[in-house]
Structure 1
């Protein structure tokens, strides 16, 4: 019998099935700026209506949260996570997401699983008025075990040059406003899995994996709702490294963030992780978002309006003159 690509472990037909399952849904994210369809060698996106546009890009993956999804055979939220980790990053500069591309790698492709992951991306893209314009599905036997998947993505957004948010206007006296997270989002899962090895154990009346797999919150709508009415001088997406590493990224030298941790609304699952794992509180704040998905730095005069516009936002501190970029008390 002669050798074929399929005999080496790559089933092209399963790839075609995946495309068939997602093609219509993906097309539903397109708008008039998308000039071609899936299947071309490159995706074409027209930029119009801007005076001095600047493109803002971000790329990320889902990390070992994938292991929770794969072991639990629940794949729907993973695509949302992948998109959110990229799109939330570019939001920190005031950008509107334009388009997204994904990369899915596996040992043996299952079109049902692949489609479920991509359809999660479709859902997230629609929520952010963003077009899913392309991607790559790589079946790589020998590199990944059958049943293993890895997911990454790439998002490009746009902002007028004079409207870029880069933290340069952040000043002493600015208030720090927290936007709640939906849970762990997609960070710290290597430690989460170490402390919670059984994803099926019961937590607050349901299997633990349901809590762990809550998708990363998408912040496009609340952030751009604010930008239409209030000037925001700094935005930090609280991802890997937690508040300790991410808040300083939006603060100029000579200033620091003074955060009152008693105001932070920590999710019960994180408190349980801390207790069960005997993890120091400082380690928690340097690893997880602790219930805070985004932190905004706004002029004190604008803070009341921000809190009024967003029902779930709350103040956690302020910017002070300091050589310490962040102080938790």
Structure 2
């Protein structure tokens, strides 16, 4: 069969919506940001096929690697709406390194994945500078990542983020909740706001009430309060671990106190939380009122002002509070470990 030749323009990757040169320019722009996070163990810079990191095993007898991956959820939509791109990168790091530190592990290195329909170098650079800032706060090296242009998958200014972090801990220093005992105290460490959780509900509340992000709120705007980046607890907690025998740590992310605290408790124990022991930031009260949220919904969706919970013995409580406050954290004794009874909730709010 004779095929009819069709005259068509010469195509390129750029004409299909992917600009390789823009990706290369972005890498050049972010090299200094990555270099600021470097550690002695980093063996190769950005641009290779893979990242190289020498494990500091000389400091360990039985090292355990601890890994975590996460994103920032629909807080991204808020960041895009506000045109704020740097703080969301810090959120990304926080969601990963805060999950690693609860095991007692020191974060070693971090990689990111940035995907968009059309690469905007300035916006992407701000995101990655935020990631670099988060890595600096956590003491982790930004060793690499991936930037992907995917026209047809992402539309307009939409983009997505994912992060991956690896940490290390001595096997006999691993914190897994097995040491939690009846009568232990629970110490809550203040959050910086909703962190990166519950934003689908937050956005629904804003949409339903037709609220403007420019609305004045606590001497700021509603948007600036909601875009505040997640607090990174790595360095204060590493310092605490060196001074106090910590029995368990819970990162209060999506699911709030009600869902996250049980993850670190032995099956025979429960926790009683006194919600009058800390100051619940006004943003959570506003969300509860505007969304007509039940108490359970509020505490099951949001951190309500508590970003981390540390479990220690009663004898170590005052030392723990002093150490955290000395590291710049705000902390309160918010509850106690109690015996679990059949058919009772794992977490009791009182």
TM-score by length of 1: 0.98
1:216-231 paired onto structure 2 within 5 Å: 216-231=230-245
Aligned to 1:31: 39
Write the deviation string for residues 209-260 of structure 1: whole angstroms up to 9, x where unpaired: 1101110000012101111110101000000000000000110011001111
Q: CA RMSD in A?
A: 0.9
Q: Are the counterparts in 1 of residues 246 and 312 from structure 2 also a CA contact under 8 Å?
A: yes
Q: 316-325 or 101-110: which moved more?
A: 316-325
Q: Are the counterparts in 2 of residues 68 and 199 from structure 1 also a CA contact under 8 Å?
A: no
What is the DSSP-based 3-state SS (H/G/I as helix, E as strand, rest coil) of the residue aligned with 1:261?
coil
Counterpart-to-counterpart distance in 2, 1:90 and 1:120: 19
In the alignment, structure 1 residue 322 sits paired with structure 2 residue 322: no
Counterpart-to-counterpart distance in 2, 1:206 and 1:235: 32
- Which of 123, 130, 138 lines up with 2:148 in the alignment? 138
Unaligned runs of 5+ in 1: none
Q: Are the counterparts in 2 of residues 10 and 139 from structure 1 also a CA contact under 8 Å?
A: yes
Counterpart-to-counterpart distance in 2, 1:228 and 1:3: 60
Q: Are the counterparts in 2 of residues 26 and 122 from structure 1 also a CA contact under 8 Å?
A: yes
Aligned to 2:331: 313
Q: Are the counterparts in 2 of residues 56 and 159 from structure 1 also a CA contact under 8 Å?
A: yes
Aligned to 1:5: 13
Counterpart-to-counterpart distance in 2, 1:146 and 1:318: 49
Counterpart-to-counterpart distance in 1, 2:290 and 2:346: 30
- Which of 83, 87, 90 lines up with 1:77 in the alignment? 87
Write the deviation string for residues 143-181 of structure 1: whole angstroms up to 9, x where unpaired: 000200101100100000000000000010000000000
Counterpart-to-counterpart distance in 2, 1:109 and 1:126: 25
TM-score by length of 2: 0.92
Which structure has the bigger radius of gyration? 2
Unaligned runs of 5+ in 2: 1-8
Counterpart-to-counterpart distance in 1, 2:52 and 2:338: 46
Q: How many residues align?
A: 329
Write the deviation string for residues 93-140 of structure 1: whole angstroms up to 9, x where unpaired: 000000000000111110101010000111111112110001001110
- Cα offset, 1:37, TM superposition: 1.2
Aligned to 1:126: 136
